[in-house]
Amino acid sequence: MDKDRLLYLLENDKRGRNSPAEAGELEAWYRSAEAHPAFSDGLSGAGLSALEDKIFARIQTATAESQEWAEAQPDSKRSWLAWGKIAAAVLFLVVAGIGIYMFQQQSGRITERTGFGETRVLILPDGSEVTLNGNSVLSYDAEWPELREVRLEGEGYFRVVHTKDHRKFRVRTGADFSLDVLGTQFNISKRASGTRIVLDEGKVRCNLGDSKGDTLVLRPGEMVQFRKNPSDYQRERVEKGLYSAWKDHKLVFKNTSLREVAGILRDTYGLETEATRPELLDRQISGSVPTDNVELLLQGVAEASSVTITRDGDQLTIEPKGK
């Protein structure tokens, strides 16, 4: 299997989009991966992240299956057989994880990621602080050259320090957009629905294209957002802290539609939403809900919008209240 195909299967597996045939193809590769010592070479950060997910899931599955198997054995054999089987099942997976770690270190690239619903505070080599929201990936060179550059997929809140030599700090979210700062605080989000930057303090420059003239300078309290093409941006003033409340473990809504809320639940928590009546998604809510307890979050959204939200695994169903 070539690397492009492997990356495709890994990323689809992470999103639960592989067909049964594709799942079987990935499983067959996975079982033979020990015959390919350089199996992680050439994978992108997204590919390595997806492979890490796969390894962790396999460790959990292998351990659970081994424990179930062990419980079915006679008491006299249960202890040593159980540990032997668990060790054999997990050994390659651990080695594979170490291989990924070594690959990242040898390539000089550091990658940090969060799972669905997880937030994490990171301290960068220059002392700058980044709070990563759920389902996000931040990567950067282990040793920065003159330019301090990080790449972001997902959402993060940045507190960038000003260096004595005035080195520029850059956040890149793709080939067509980056953000340059010296010392400031801002929230940046790149999701399937689009890219959004909200500036709290300082000043940032949005690089919207290849030309030096394709730039936009933001001031505190301003937001710029676009869907696909950075040049098709919208700029407006917003309430400070509204879009970064998540870092304090809460979501703040201000005339926010349930459709927008559904997007947040999908991107940050991996929850898919379906409404029994499409017009329910047009309902708007205001207020705040906690983010460190998903059930309380859903309860708060339901009460604020006068609907019933039923959860079945990662699937949410919205219905009129009282139905």
The per-residue pLDDT of the chain, averaged, comes to: 80
Residue where a domain stops, chosen among 90, 107, 124: 107
Token match 């594709």: residue?
A: 22
**Domain total of the chain:** 3
Task: Tell whether 216 and 137 lie within a shared domain.
Answer: yes
Residue where a domain stops, chosen among 107, 122, 137: 107
Q: Any idea how long the chain is?
A: 323
Give the domain extent around 277. 249-320
Residue 242 lies in a domain: no
Residue 207: strand, helix, or coil: strand
Residue where a domain stops, chosen among 107, 139, 154: 107
Task: Tell whether 101 and 116 lie within a shared domain.
Answer: no
Which residues contact residue 45 at a Cβ distance below 8 angstroms, ignoring those fewer than 6 apart? 109, 111, 137, 139, 151, 153
Task: Tell whether 221 and 260 lie within a shared domain.
Answer: no
Task: Tell whether 74 and 88 lie within a shared domain.
Answer: yes
Mean pLDDT by 10 residues, the chain (323 residues): 65 71 74 50 50 56 56 56 52 49 59 92 93 95 86 96 88 88 91 93 86 82 92 92 94 94 95 95 94 93 94 94 73
CATH at 269: 3.55.50.30
pLDDT, tens digit (0-9, with 9 covering 90-100), for 134-165:
999 999 988 887 889 999 999 999 999 988 88
Task: Tell whether 68 and 152 lie within a shared domain.
Answer: no
**Are the CB atoms for 246 and 291 separated by under 8 Å?**
yes
Task: Tell whether 96 and 154 lie within a shared domain.
Answer: no
- The pLDDT value recorded for residue 103 is 46
Task: Tell whether 219 and 121 lie within a shared domain.
Answer: yes
pLDDT, tens digit (0-9, with 9 covering 90-100), for 42-72:
444 445 555 555 555 555 555 555 556 556 6
